[in-house]
Amino acid sequence: MRLRCLDTGRTLFPTEMGEPKAVGVLGGMGPAATVEFFRRVVAATPATVDQGHLRVVIDNDPSVPDRARALLYDGPTPVPALVRMVRRLEAAGAGVLAMPCNTAHAFLPQLREAASVPFLDMIDETVRRVSVRTVGLLATSGTIRSGIYGRAFAARGIELLVPNGDGQRTVVRAIEAIKAARSLGEVETAMRTVVDGLRTRGAEAVVAGCTEISLLDGDRMSVPWIDALDVLVEATVREAFRGPASDQEVR
Protein backbone atom coordinates (compact mmCIF):
# COMPACT_ATOMS: atom_id res chain seq x y z
CA MET A 1 0.00 0.00 0.00
CA ARG A 2 1.01 3.61 -0.58
CA LEU A 3 0.00 7.05 0.65
CA ARG A 4 -0.20 10.15 -1.51
CA CYS A 5 1.25 13.42 -0.25
CA LEU A 6 -1.54 16.02 -0.40
CA ASP A 7 0.95 18.88 -0.81
CA THR A 8 2.83 17.57 -3.85
CA GLY A 9 0.73 14.70 -5.15
CA ARG A 10 3.81 12.49 -4.94
CA THR A 11 3.27 8.87 -3.96
CA LEU A 12 4.90 7.98 -0.66
CA PHE A 13 6.15 4.49 0.15
CA PRO A 14 6.42 3.30 3.77
CA THR A 15 10.24 3.31 3.62
CA GLU A 16 10.21 7.03 2.78
CA MET A 17 7.90 8.08 5.59
CA GLY A 18 10.33 7.87 8.46
CA GLU A 19 9.30 7.21 12.06
CA PRO A 20 5.54 7.77 12.37
CA LYS A 21 3.92 9.66 15.22
CA ALA A 22 2.00 7.72 17.82
CA VAL A 23 -1.74 8.31 17.50
CA GLY A 24 -3.76 9.29 20.56
CA VAL A 25 -7.49 8.55 20.39
CA LEU A 26 -10.06 10.31 22.55
CA GLY A 27 -12.52 7.42 22.67
CA GLY A 28 -15.57 6.06 24.40
CA MET A 29 -18.02 8.39 22.61
CA GLY A 30 -19.29 5.74 22.01
CA PRO A 31 -17.19 2.62 22.55
CA ALA A 32 -18.42 0.78 19.43
CA ALA A 33 -17.45 3.72 17.24
CA THR A 34 -14.02 3.82 18.89
CA VAL A 35 -13.48 0.12 18.18
CA GLU A 36 -14.53 0.64 14.56
CA PHE A 37 -12.19 3.61 14.19
CA PHE A 38 -9.24 1.54 15.40
CA ARG A 39 -10.19 -1.34 13.11
CA ARG A 40 -10.30 0.99 10.11
CA VAL A 41 -6.98 2.61 11.03
CA VAL A 42 -5.33 -0.81 11.07
CA ALA A 43 -6.90 -1.66 7.70
CA ALA A 44 -5.82 1.68 6.17
CA THR A 45 -2.21 1.59 7.37
CA PRO A 46 0.36 0.72 4.66
CA ALA A 47 1.93 -2.19 6.53
CA THR A 48 2.87 -5.74 5.58
CA VAL A 49 4.18 -6.81 9.00
CA ASP A 50 3.25 -5.97 12.61
CA GLN A 51 6.14 -3.52 12.89
CA GLY A 52 4.78 -1.43 10.03
CA HIS A 53 1.62 -0.48 11.88
CA LEU A 54 1.10 2.67 13.91
CA ARG A 55 1.39 2.89 17.65
CA VAL A 56 -2.13 3.79 18.78
CA VAL A 57 -2.98 4.83 22.33
CA ILE A 58 -6.72 4.76 23.01
CA ASP A 59 -8.36 6.37 26.04
CA ASN A 60 -11.79 4.73 25.87
CA ASP A 61 -13.61 6.72 28.55
CA PRO A 62 -17.41 6.40 28.28
CA SER A 63 -17.85 8.51 31.44
CA VAL A 64 -17.37 11.72 29.40
CA PRO A 65 -20.56 13.80 29.93
CA ASP A 66 -23.05 13.63 27.08
CA ARG A 67 -21.98 16.08 24.37
CA ALA A 68 -25.44 16.56 22.85
CA ARG A 69 -27.02 17.18 26.25
CA ALA A 70 -24.40 19.84 26.98
CA LEU A 71 -25.19 21.60 23.69
CA LEU A 72 -28.97 21.23 23.73
CA TYR A 73 -29.93 21.45 27.39
CA ASP A 74 -27.02 23.19 29.11
CA GLY A 75 -25.99 19.89 30.64
CA PRO A 76 -22.58 19.24 32.21
CA THR A 77 -19.76 20.28 29.91
CA PRO A 78 -17.51 17.46 28.64
CA VAL A 79 -14.53 19.80 28.28
CA PRO A 80 -12.74 19.03 31.59
CA ALA A 81 -13.00 15.27 30.97
CA LEU A 82 -11.80 15.67 27.39
CA VAL A 83 -8.89 17.87 28.46
CA ARG A 84 -7.85 15.19 30.95
CA MET A 85 -7.91 12.69 28.10
CA VAL A 86 -5.71 14.96 26.00
CA ARG A 87 -3.17 15.18 28.80
CA ARG A 88 -3.21 11.43 29.47
CA LEU A 89 -2.67 10.68 25.78
CA GLU A 90 0.16 13.18 25.47
CA ALA A 91 1.79 11.74 28.59
CA ALA A 92 1.55 8.31 26.95
CA GLY A 93 3.51 9.61 23.95
CA ALA A 94 0.82 10.60 21.45
CA GLY A 95 2.18 12.80 18.66
CA VAL A 96 -1.17 13.46 16.95
CA LEU A 97 -4.69 13.34 18.38
CA ALA A 98 -7.92 12.08 16.83
CA MET A 99 -11.43 12.10 18.27
CA PRO A 100 -13.96 9.78 16.57
CA CYS A 101 -16.99 11.73 17.80
CA ASN A 102 -18.56 14.40 15.61
CA THR A 103 -20.54 16.13 18.35
CA ALA A 104 -17.47 16.50 20.57
CA HIS A 105 -15.88 18.61 17.83
CA ALA A 106 -18.10 21.47 18.97
CA PHE A 107 -15.54 21.73 21.80
CA LEU A 108 -12.47 21.34 19.60
CA PRO A 109 -11.18 24.93 20.08
CA GLN A 110 -10.89 24.39 23.86
CA LEU A 111 -9.21 21.02 23.35
CA ARG A 112 -6.70 22.39 20.87
CA GLU A 113 -5.92 25.13 23.36
CA ALA A 114 -5.04 22.45 25.89
CA ALA A 115 -3.09 20.25 23.47
CA SER A 116 0.60 20.58 22.67
CA VAL A 117 0.46 18.22 19.66
CA PRO A 118 -1.60 18.42 16.44
CA PHE A 119 -5.31 17.67 16.88
CA LEU A 120 -7.20 16.56 13.77
CA ASP A 121 -10.48 18.27 12.85
CA MET A 122 -12.88 15.61 11.54
CA ILE A 123 -15.46 18.20 10.51
CA ASP A 124 -13.09 20.27 8.39
CA GLU A 125 -11.53 17.16 6.86
CA THR A 126 -14.98 15.84 5.92
CA VAL A 127 -16.32 19.10 4.49
CA ARG A 128 -13.26 19.40 2.27
CA ARG A 129 -14.18 16.04 0.68
CA VAL A 130 -17.60 17.27 -0.47
CA SER A 131 -17.82 18.56 -4.04
CA VAL A 132 -21.60 18.68 -4.57
CA ARG A 133 -23.69 21.83 -4.29
CA THR A 134 -26.26 20.46 -1.83
CA VAL A 135 -25.51 17.88 0.85
CA GLY A 136 -27.58 16.21 3.57
CA LEU A 137 -26.36 15.60 7.11
CA LEU A 138 -27.15 12.70 9.44
CA ALA A 139 -25.99 13.70 12.91
CA THR A 140 -27.04 14.16 16.51
CA SER A 141 -29.29 17.09 17.27
CA GLY A 142 -26.41 18.52 19.29
CA THR A 143 -24.11 18.48 16.27
CA ILE A 144 -26.76 20.22 14.18
CA ARG A 145 -27.51 22.80 16.89
CA SER A 146 -23.80 23.56 17.34
CA GLY A 147 -23.52 24.64 13.70
CA ILE A 148 -20.09 23.06 13.23
CA TYR A 149 -21.07 21.48 9.92
CA GLY A 150 -23.35 24.33 8.89
CA ARG A 151 -20.63 26.97 9.20
CA ALA A 152 -18.03 24.81 7.48
CA PHE A 153 -20.28 24.07 4.52
CA ALA A 154 -21.46 27.69 4.25
CA ALA A 155 -17.84 28.82 4.04
CA ARG A 156 -17.47 26.61 0.95
CA GLY A 157 -20.73 27.74 -0.61
CA ILE A 158 -22.42 24.36 -0.11
CA GLU A 159 -26.07 24.17 0.93
CA LEU A 160 -26.66 21.92 3.93
CA LEU A 161 -29.91 20.03 4.44
CA VAL A 162 -30.86 18.35 7.70
CA PRO A 163 -33.80 15.99 8.31
CA ASN A 164 -37.17 17.44 9.21
CA GLY A 165 -38.65 16.92 12.68
CA ASP A 166 -39.80 13.32 12.25
CA GLY A 167 -36.68 12.47 10.26
CA GLN A 168 -34.37 13.86 12.92
CA ARG A 169 -36.20 11.93 15.62
CA THR A 170 -35.60 8.80 13.52
CA VAL A 171 -31.89 9.64 13.35
CA VAL A 172 -31.67 10.11 17.11
CA ARG A 173 -33.48 6.81 17.76
CA ALA A 174 -31.11 5.08 15.32
CA ILE A 175 -28.07 6.45 17.15
CA GLU A 176 -29.48 5.32 20.48
CA ALA A 177 -30.23 1.85 19.07
CA ILE A 178 -26.68 1.47 17.77
CA LYS A 179 -25.22 2.60 21.08
CA ALA A 180 -27.39 -0.05 22.75
CA ALA A 181 -25.94 -2.70 20.38
CA ARG A 182 -29.30 -3.51 18.79
CA SER A 183 -29.59 -5.13 15.36
CA LEU A 184 -28.57 -2.83 12.53
CA GLY A 185 -31.11 -4.24 10.07
CA GLU A 186 -34.11 -2.20 11.21
CA VAL A 187 -31.92 0.82 11.83
CA GLU A 188 -30.63 0.77 8.24
CA THR A 189 -34.17 0.51 6.89
CA ALA A 190 -35.25 3.56 8.88
CA MET A 191 -32.17 5.52 7.87
CA ARG A 192 -32.74 4.78 4.18
CA THR A 193 -36.14 6.46 4.54
CA VAL A 194 -34.49 9.55 6.03
CA VAL A 195 -31.86 9.63 3.28
CA ASP A 196 -34.57 9.27 0.63
CA GLY A 197 -36.31 12.29 2.14
CA LEU A 198 -33.12 14.35 1.94
CA ARG A 199 -32.62 13.25 -1.67
CA THR A 200 -36.17 14.34 -2.53
CA ARG A 201 -35.37 17.78 -1.11
CA GLY A 202 -32.28 18.07 -3.33
CA ALA A 203 -29.40 16.41 -1.48
CA GLU A 204 -26.84 15.10 -3.96
CA ALA A 205 -24.90 13.28 -1.25
CA VAL A 206 -25.24 12.60 2.48
CA VAL A 207 -22.64 12.95 5.23
CA ALA A 208 -22.67 10.31 7.95
CA GLY A 209 -21.90 12.90 10.62
CA CYS A 210 -22.18 10.66 13.66
CA THR A 211 -19.75 7.81 14.28
CA GLU A 212 -22.61 5.49 15.26
CA ILE A 213 -24.24 6.20 11.88
CA SER A 214 -20.86 5.29 10.35
CA LEU A 215 -21.52 1.68 11.40
CA LEU A 216 -24.32 1.44 8.80
CA ASP A 217 -23.80 0.29 5.21
CA GLY A 218 -23.60 3.47 3.15
CA ASP A 219 -23.55 1.50 -0.10
CA ARG A 220 -27.23 0.71 0.44
CA MET A 221 -28.29 4.35 0.49
CA SER A 222 -29.87 6.13 -2.47
CA VAL A 223 -27.23 8.90 -2.76
CA PRO A 224 -23.43 8.94 -2.33
CA TRP A 225 -22.44 8.35 1.30
CA ILE A 226 -19.60 10.43 2.76
CA ASP A 227 -18.52 8.80 5.99
CA ALA A 228 -16.84 11.21 8.43
CA LEU A 229 -15.27 8.26 10.26
CA ASP A 230 -13.58 7.06 7.06
CA VAL A 231 -12.33 10.58 6.44
CA LEU A 232 -10.89 10.78 9.96
CA VAL A 233 -9.17 7.42 9.50
CA GLU A 234 -7.50 8.59 6.29
CA ALA A 235 -6.44 11.86 7.90
CA THR A 236 -5.07 10.03 10.94
CA VAL A 237 -2.88 7.71 8.87
CA ARG A 238 -1.74 10.62 6.71
CA GLU A 239 -0.79 12.84 9.64
CA ALA A 240 0.85 10.05 11.63
CA PHE A 241 3.31 9.54 8.78
CA ARG A 242 3.91 13.24 8.17
CA GLY A 243 7.01 14.92 9.54
CA PRO A 244 7.12 17.74 12.12
CA ALA A 245 7.07 20.42 9.40
CA SER A 246 3.46 19.56 8.61
CA ASP A 247 2.18 19.72 12.18
CA GLN A 248 0.68 23.18 11.99
CA GLU A 249 -1.57 22.18 9.10
CA VAL A 250 -3.91 20.29 11.39
CA ARG A 251 -3.99 22.66 14.35
* Mean pLDDT of successive 10-residue stretches along the chain, which has 251 residues: 43 56 97 97 95 97 97 97 98 98 98 98 97 98 97 98 97 94 87 97 98 95 97 97 53 44
CATH number at residue 88: 3.40.50.1860
Alpha carbon of residue 244 to chain centroid: 23
Same domain, 35 and 138: no
Catalytic residue among 22, 70, 99, 101: 101
Q: Is the pTM of this model over 0.85?
A: yes
First to last CA, the chain: 27
Q: How many structural domains does the chain have?
A: 2
Same domain, 167 and 216: yes
Same domain, 92 and 214: no
Same domain, 26 and 10: yes
Same domain, 164 and 222: yes
Contact 161, 138 (CB under 8 A): no
What tens digit of pLDDT does each residue of 177-213 get? 999 988 788 899 999 999 999 999 999 999 999 999 9
Same domain, 103 and 149: no
Same domain, 133 and 189: yes
Same domain, 224 and 186: yes
Please name the helix (run of DSSP H) or strand (run of DSSP E) that holds residue 218, with its range, or none. none
Same domain, 21 and 42: yes
Does 5 participate in catalysis according to the annotation? no
Same domain, 28 and 111: yes
Residue 200: exposure state from Cβ atoms within 10 A (0-12, 13-18, ≥19): exposed
What tens digit of pLDDT does each residue of 60-90 get? 999 999 999 999 999 999 999 999 999 999 9
Same domain, 114 and 176: no
Catalytic residue among 54, 97, 210, 229: 210
Contact 66, 138 (CB under 8 A): no
Same domain, 237 and 206: no
3-state secondary structure at position 11? strand
**Domain range holding 118?**
3-122+230-250
What φ, ψ does residue 189 adopt, rounded to 5°?
Answer: -60, -45
Note the pLDDT of residue 5.
42
